[in-house]
Structure 1
Amino acid sequence: MDSIARRKFLRLSAYGGLVFSSGLPRARGQDAHSAEDGFYFVQLSDTHWGYQGEANPDAGVTLPKAIAAVNALAVQPDFVVFTGDLTHTTDDPRERRRRMAQFREMVAGLQVKTVRFLAGEHDAALDQGRAFREFFGASRYTFDHKGVHFIALDNVSDPAARLGDEQLAWLAADIQEQPMDARIVVLAHRPLFDLYPQWDWATRDGARAVEILLARPNVTVFYGHIHQEHHHTTGHIAHHSARSLIFPLPAPGSQARRTPLPWDGAHPYAGLGFREVEARRAEAAYALVEFPVAKA
């Protein structure tokens, strides 16, 4: 059993995860390090630190439980990314910064050395991302890891849920610099496609971003915001949303209002969880493994 297969077996045995494979065509010209080693990262989303309400009466301990679960993985990920709504919205700028400071202090308990952050509208929409940038750095950026090019977008600092012309031009310029067969992963908070605009589950100019991304054959998008696992394709681009770490939301359009699903005291943390994303060795595909916040 090779090291990656063994690693996955250990993780699935410990947590009972479910595997969803996101297949992409093989990319030509992969560097030898990527092809030989492979890697995986963990996506967490929508922690909403500072939330208080009956949708999660254990809100103060849910994030620590998730951190402990990630630290308990048999093999630590290459990095962790939080795809937005780190904190719960507040009109008080001082309270917003206090929550961000508390969140940053808690996630420092992760054993993995590299942790990356995206803003959500709860973090950024009321001050155009100023507090987020003070605590976590740029709200849009790129990085490369073992043959994969990552692009983190900001579709929340504009309260109108737009990327904006300037950011779209930045995205187009970055894509233009990548080889045609580059493996590209896009990270965002809101979906880039119109999942359910009536519930703010869309990016107003997201179609323009998707049009730019469609020019490259190997693109996958990971996002948050909708508090549930969801899989969608636009052309050849796969879009995967992650579960929340605070409360689940209903399926798109399944009820009249976008209200949290009720807390079930008999099954606490039901519907909450995080995700592993594995870039497989010798093939341009991603295996997604979904994990609960805590073992049953």
Structure 2
Amino acid sequence: MDPIDRRAFLRLAAYGGAVFSSALATGCAQGGAPAGDDFFFVQLSDVHWGYQGEANPDASGTLPRAIAAVNALPVAPDFIVFTGDLTHTTDDPRERRQRMARFQELAAGLKVRDIHYLAGEHDAALDAGKAFREFFGPTRYTFDHKGVHFIALDNVSDPRASLGEEQLQWLADDLGRQPADARIVVLTHRPLFDLYPSWDWATTDGARAIEILSTRANVTVFYGHIHQENHHRTGSVAHHSARSLIYPLPAPGSQPKRTPLAWDAAHPYAGLGFREVEAPHGAAAWDLEEYPLARA
């Protein structure tokens, strides 16, 4: 199926003719190496399994709802990424593992078998990622898909929100092995740039990572953590955050405290959703489609 026809079919079949789009086809600098075969993946983020509170009275229902929506897509994604905070934080190591085990059981219901998991600070900050690695594997890794090189970074296992010198060197070494015109996607939980540091929306040494990434022309970062869409550019590097699957958070600095937006019983699941990311064949840009969970 032609990429444009496939996207149109996907939108119409999923939403009965309504199109929900970020209207943003960006991410990689124009030019560079031609893309491989077109493909798309789904980004889900900030599930916070185990959360209980008034910000989402259906906290145990939103992940199954999202899984059902992804499974119902008329064209299956090539793979799925969860960009952190799979579970909600707990001081009890046993409860932490129970939440991860239950999350893992639910995620097994996804029809797509190729799933990449990232840790969030709720998963990893209290034990340096130990429990996360037991269930989901390394907190940083790379993989390649149809001509695109993916790099998953860990800016959460250190409670100081730091990548650390060793990981920065690992990033630089990995980039050094890629062609100069390689198409690079970075997956992370926290923003690498200083979005709003007083709300913990930053990575303490993220500027160092951006400096390394800026040596390449075709770099896009997809992240979570802030529970809302945000699109930003640092030089040639584009940064795109995803919505949460538990509760939305306010726009940066829009209120005194970083507290969840109130649940609206008249519009349940408002502000929640997931994202389709498409790499059209022969194009340097990424096409982003936002899927509100309320419509799922």
TM-score bracket for this pair, using the shorter chain length: over 0.9
Paired residue secondary structure (2:274): strand
How far did 1:11 drift? Answer: 2.2
- Give the equivalent residue in structure 1 for 2:6: 7
- Give the equivalent residue in structure 1 for 2:267: 267
Mapped partners of 1:23, 1:208: distance in 2 = 20
Paired residue secondary structure (2:43): strand
TM-score by length of 2: 0.96
Residues 90 and 96, structure 1, Cα contact 8 Å, conserved in 2:
yes
Letter in 2 for 1:238: A
Residues 152 and 187, structure 1, Cα contact 8 Å, conserved in 2:
yes
Query: Which of 24, 27, 33 does residue 32 from structure 2 map onto?
Result: 27
Mapped partners of 2:115, 2:20: distance in 1 = 22
Residues 49 and 88, structure 1, Cα contact 8 Å, conserved in 2:
yes
Residues 66 and 294, structure 1, Cα contact 8 Å, conserved in 2:
no
Residues 27 and 237, structure 2, Cα contact 8 Å, conserved in 1:
no
- Give the equivalent residue in structure 2 for 1:226: 226
Residues 80 and 115, structure 2, Cα contact 8 Å, conserved in 1:
yes
Residues 270 and 294, structure 2, Cα contact 8 Å, conserved in 1:
no
Paired residue secondary structure (2:257): coil
- Give the equivalent residue in structure 1 for 2:86: 86
TM-score by length of 1: 0.96
Structure 1 residues without counterparts, runs of 5 or longer: none
Letter in 1 for 2:190: R
Residues 67 and 109, structure 1, Cα contact 8 Å, conserved in 2:
yes
Letter in 1 for 2:179: P
Mapped partners of 1:294, 1:251: distance in 2 = 20
Mapped partners of 1:23, 1:101: distance in 2 = 34
Mapped partners of 2:100, 2:125: distance in 1 = 14
How far did 1:26 drift? Answer: 2.6
- Give the equivalent residue in structure 2 for 1:189: 189
- Give the equivalent residue in structure 2 for 1:71: 71
Mapped partners of 1:294, 1:182: distance in 2 = 37
- Give the equivalent residue in structure 2 for 1:123: 123
Paired residue secondary structure (1:208): helix
How far did 1:285 drift? Answer: 1.3
RMSD of aligned C-alpha atoms? 1.0
1:1-296 superposed matches below 5 A: 3-13=2-12, 14-15=14-15, 16-18=19-21, 19-24=23-28, 25-28=30-33, 30=34, 34-35=35-36, 37-295=37-295
Q: Spell out structure 1 runs of 4+ moving beyond 3 A.
A: none
Paired residue secondary structure (1:60): coil
More divergent stretch after superposition (197-206 vs 13-22) = 13-22
Paired residues in the alignment total: 290
Q: What percent of counterpart residues are identical?
A: 71
Structure 2 residues without counterparts, runs of 5 or longer: none
Mapped partners of 1:163, 1:117: distance in 2 = 17
How far did 1:40 drift? Answer: 0.3
Per-residue CA deviation, residues 87-117 of structure 1 (Å, 9 max, x unaligned), is 0000000000000000000000000110010
How far did 1:23 drift? Answer: 4.8
Mapped partners of 1:168, 1:226: distance in 2 = 23
Residues 47 and 63, structure 2, Cα contact 8 Å, conserved in 1:
yes
How far did 1:209 drift? Answer: 0.2
Per-residue CA deviation, residues 33-65 of structure 1 (Å, 9 max, x unaligned), is x53x31000000000000000000000100000
Residues 142 and 149, structure 2, Cα contact 8 Å, conserved in 1:
yes
Residues 268 and 294, structure 2, Cα contact 8 Å, conserved in 1:
no
Residues 155 and 161, structure 2, Cα contact 8 Å, conserved in 1:
yes
How far did 1:3 drift? Answer: 2.3
Residues 65 and 294, structure 1, Cα contact 8 Å, conserved in 2:
no
